[in-house]
Structure 1
Amino acid sequence: MVEMVNDILQKLNTGMELSKEEAYGAIKAIHGNEMTDAQIMNFQVSLLMKGPTLTEIAAIAQAMRDFCIPITPKVDSELMDTCGTGGGLSTFNISTAVAFVAAAAGIKVAKSGSKSSINHAGSADVLEALGIQIHQSRHAVENMIEEIGISFLYAPLFHPVMQKMIHPEKDFGIKTIFYTIIGPLINPAQATLHLMGVYKADLLEKVSQVALSLGYTKALFAHGEGGMDEISLIGKTTIHELKDGMIHDYELYPEDLGLKRCKLNDIATGTPEANAMMIRDVFSGKNKGPRRQAVVLNAAGALMVGGIVKDLKEGVTLSNDIIDSGLAQDKLNQLIEASHSYQSLSK
């Protein structure tokens, strides 16, 4: 194994591509504690500098899935995730809010995510600020999905390999593929439905192809012009839609769905506490401006992926209704209560 690790690192350091077996083997070596911290960092940074190929990304994602702690709730429908790549323009936690709208519509949601190493608030940060206990056992996560239709899967708890790869991002502010491309694709519950924002346009094709190879059945991969990892309320969004084993791409503008454009500052991020208040204000009806419209726009995509509506226009209407009825806020409150109940049982 030592020789294989050295060969892999040498290939990457000289700009050579890894085979499927080598890329998978690298993750297997990390999982088996057969790479030092320095070698792990070398692997991540060299792969980033070389530029990962589709073969490498797919093999790494498959390995990360194979070595995770699996979540297997007993439900009779496919699971959805709304985890995006992060990076790019910093907006408040739109995809996290979308998860509650989707769950309120009856979609079973296994929302994965982690804390942010660079931006103000990752999904885990804002959920904690909302009062949700994110450190949950496998059993608790499964039960919450079964009982209330949504749970949060805090990635470091279920991906032991990921814990060993955090240092370049945290210590040097480097966005490696593990917390951007790979992380959102390796949901421990094997979610096959996904609304995923992608911060770089040139990653859309790779991400959608990897998702197809991993068994995703329906998904929207969206890149907002200028570097937004959401369906954009600012301007054009390029979308790659995975459906029926095929990937179709198209462009979308807010006006296409009857929504007004806004400026980045209108939906900008803040501290976890500030973002939590933004989400509460949207769900309570206090904020009916751009922040709400950004949630509605992206929730429309989630509802379409989940088969609740036939198109995005219908999704906008239903998303507004769900928020106005208080169902999204109710779903948030249910998860807060359930997370504390299961946290208490584990003590």
Structure 2
Amino acid sequence: MEAKQLVREVMRKLTSREELTEEEIRGIIEGIRDDKISSVQIGGFLVALLMKGQTVREIAYIAKAMRDVALPLNPDVPGELVDTCGTGGGLPTFNISTATSIVAAAGGLYVAKHGSRSISHLSGSADAFEALGVNIELEPSEVEELIEKIGICFLFASLFHPVMGKVWEPERELGIKTIFFTIIGPLINPARAKCHINGVYKLELVRKMAEVWSLLPHKHILVVHGVDGLDEISLIGETHIAEVKDGKINEYTVTPEELGLERCKIEDLAPGDPQYNAKVIRDIFEGKEKGPKRDAVLLNSAGAFLVGGKVSNLREGIEYAKKVIDEGKALEKLEQYIKASHEIKKKKKL
């Protein structure tokens, strides 16, 4: 079916509140990639899908198609890749998932950290890594090499997903917030990491995202939401978790006290600009920050070590993360990553 006919059929179905097929969604995504669908048609599709509401299967179909049209990444590593990408949109905090990704790599996991610049807050993962001194604008082959050699690299979403750039402008002009810049992001890691801590900004998304993950290739997923509004494992209060493993979903809640940590206030985790957030991360790794900010990183790093198979529960993960930071391994990994991200570009120019 040519693009014009496809768009009309898709719009008819969406306005009739009918579920789209995988083939229809794939056709739309490929049409956007190939510039066969206009910005007006993209805008119409976004609004109609938003108004109808996306089913679990439709979200999974979009994720599959977006993965397939992304620039491919295939790092050769033993074991599974880990990602710590959330939806964003929750209460603002310093870049906890960014710090967590570095601790995870320092603890022996291979991390493909997918992310972008901030849309809703002061500093996204891309902004934080840049402020730390990391070169984030790398070619796919360079990203693969860093993951293989040092165990971590940031995957800058805008460099790997051509469709995202084409969806962004209609979405911005319409002033709407669709799934492409919220819940789709964690599902479309270009390296197809199968182990994730996937934070979500609304409680009702926990089960829904877990069901989506169950339809995608995965090994071990934690979909998490702090009921206070965090898209992280929360140090402020209760966290609702849906754990996805072998296609099965197990839901439970945890509190900081159950895991041996003290609760804090949201103000204790407040963000600043990228330079401030980078300083917080360094202070944690250098042992200067011993309070709630460090505990929040320990808690979320525990989740990474759990999905990555280093520990069997979150309590063990917290102790593992403490050891990684206290022995200076997290700081060492950060410095190694900064240096390698620049050297790989210099090597290419020679």
Cα separation, 2, equivalents of 1:158 and 1:246: 30
Q: Secondary structure at the match of 1:248?
A: strand
- Find the counterpart in structure 1 of residue 273 from structure 2: 271
- Find the counterpart in structure 2 of residue 300 from structure 1: 302
Report the AA paired with residue 99 of structure 1: S
Report the AA paired with residue 187 of structure 1: N
Match of 1:189 among 188, 191, 194: 191
Cα contact 1:5–1:29 (8 A) shared by 2:
no
Q: Secondary structure at the match of 1:100?
A: helix
Cα separation, 1, equivalents of 2:310 and 2:241: 19
Cα contact 2:70–2:162 (8 A) shared by 1:
yes
Q: CA deviation at 1:112?
A: 0.7
- Find the counterpart in structure 2 of residue 95 from structure 1: 97
Q: CA deviation at 1:88?
A: 1.8
Match of 1:29 among 28, 31, 47: 31
Deviation by residue 1:6-38 (Cα, 9 ceiling, x = unmatched):
221343345443223222221121112111112
- Find the counterpart in structure 2 of residue 317 from structure 1: 319
Asked if residue 218 in structure 1 is aligned to residue 249 in structure 2, the reply is: no
Cα contact 1:118–1:169 (8 A) shared by 2:
no
Cα separation, 1, equivalents of 2:172 and 2:286: 35
Q: CA deviation at 1:46?
A: 2.5
Match of 1:207 among 206, 209, 215: 209
Runs of 4+ in 1 over 6 A off after TM superposition: none
Q: Secondary structure at the match of 2:182?
A: helix
- Find the counterpart in structure 2 of residue 345 from structure 1: 347
- Percent identity over paired residues: 53
Deviation by residue 1:71-127 (Cα, 9 ceiling, x = unmatched):
111112110111111002111110111001110111100111111122111100111
How much is the aligned-residue C-alpha RMSD, in angstroms? 1.5
TM-score, normalised by the number of residues in structure 2: 0.95
- Find the counterpart in structure 2 of residue 55 from structure 1: 57
Q: CA deviation at 1:210?
A: 1.7
Cα separation, 2, equivalents of 1:317 and 1:128: 29
- Find the counterpart in structure 1 of residue 76 from structure 2: 74
Q: What number of residue pairs does the alignment pair up?
A: 347
Cα separation, 2, equivalents of 1:167 and 1:320: 43
TM-score, normalised by the number of residues in structure 1: 0.96
Report the AA paired with residue 213 of structure 1: L
- Find the counterpart in structure 1 of residue 333 from structure 2: 331
Deviation by residue 1:144-195 (Cα, 9 ceiling, x = unmatched):
0111011111111111111211225555664321122111111111101111
- Find the counterpart in structure 2 of residue 112 from structure 1: 114
Q: CA deviation at 1:322?
A: 0.8
Cα separation, 1, equivalents of 2:170 and 2:228: 25
- Find the counterpart in structure 2 of residue 229 from structure 1: 231
Cα contact 1:81–1:191 (8 A) shared by 2:
yes
Q: Secondary structure at the match of 2:167?
A: coil
Cα separation, 2, equivalents of 1:210 and 1:289: 36
